[in-house]
A = this chain, B = another copy of it.
Amino acid sequence: MSDALIRTEEDIIQGFLEPLARGFAGAFGLRDDCAVLAPEPGQELVLKTDAIAEGVHFFANDAAADIAWKALAVNISDLAAKGARPLAYLLALAFPQPPQKAWLAQFADGLRIAQDQFGCQLIGGDTDRRPGPMAINITAIGSVPIGQMVRRGMAKPGDQLFVTGTLGDAALGLALRRDASVAKRWQLTAEQVAHAQSRYLRPVPRLALTPALRAYASAAMDLSDGLVKDCGRMCAASGVGARIRASDLPVSAAVSRVVSAEAMWLEKVLAGGDDYELLIAVPPIKVRAFLAATQGLDVPTTAIGEVTAGQALLVEGPNGEPVSLPRTGYDHF
């Protein structure tokens, strides 16, 4: 076996992952069977598990550091939507073949950059070899003041709906990843191409919103399967409907360019998936304070509609006409 290959689980854990656990007492240097964690007084823990797999959520030849970033970011995005502060994560890796040491070094480097930015540390994990696609399963753990987790199911009729950032960029990044020639067809600038690629490869959990969410949101969730599908989930969990103004949906210059070229791309804005922006419901009486709290953040927050009584999810065009909805966003089944 080549020296560039891994021989044992210990090679992976102690050789590459242990540095990610340093300084976290309850991780025991990844040398024990379990990790130990306790919330600060007055806090409780918020937990989420999500996996990404080669061929489904990323391409085999994506950069290892990008794969690592995305695996952690999609979990931390859920914590961000709940108003939770990231603390730690567990990592379960499945490889069809022993990974190259150079690949693992880059993967660990991507995790390090991501965990430093998100403010959490690796505390435990598991590595397996099995056939099939490489898969990375992360369980992320954050904390919120007791009782203050922002729920998905507490939106009320009259609440205003906001989204962070811009929608459809990751769908464009994926389209470019599949066929780079569309950049020319849609006359995208190099900067616009880079923006969309980065949004697809390195989604940024919207942790900057945490104080505003805790203080003013009645409900929130992150957008992973497309706005229409995920907003439908918030509505179903809350027993409400929603009206969304298509012309108010925030899009980047790149996506704006593509929608101008191909009007059907509006569907990607509504249902493209992988946005990892936040959908936030704010009671009318708190909207002003919410907007004040989000002003000046690096990420914009845009009003896109409101929560309604009933169960219908309506998307309105510029003149109030209904926009026919894409049937669903992404579903694995």
Contact = CB atoms under 8 A, between A and B. Distances in A.
A47 B81 contact: no
Interface stretch (A31-39, A157-165, A295-303): A31-39
Contacts of A146: 38
Contacts of A98: 333
Contact of A45 (B38, B51, B125, B137): B38
A129 interface: yes
A79 interface: yes
Given A31-B153, A333-B7, A333-B8, A126 B36 contact: no
Interface residues of A, number: 69
A282 interface: no
A56 B56 CA distance: 22
B237 A131 contact: no
Interface in A10-45: 11-12, 26, 28, 31-39, 43-45
A226 to B, nearest CB: 13
A11 B51 contact: no
Given A82-B33, A131-B55, A131-B132, A139 B49 contact: yes
Contact of A92 (B38, B51, B153): B51
Contact of A34 (B11, B39, B84): B84
A82 B34 contact: yes
Q: How many copies does the complex hold?
A: 2
A45 B48 contact: no
Contacts of A3: none
A217 interface: no
A49 B35 CA distance: 10
Contacts of A90: 47-49, 139
A128 interface: yes
A78 interface: yes
Contacts of A133: 130-132
B332 A129 contact: yes
Given A94-B51, A130-B53, A36 B32 contact: no
A84 B37 CA distance: 12
Q: Which 5 A-B pairs have the closest CB atoms?
A: A132-B132, A38-B44, A129-B332, A139-B139, A49-B90
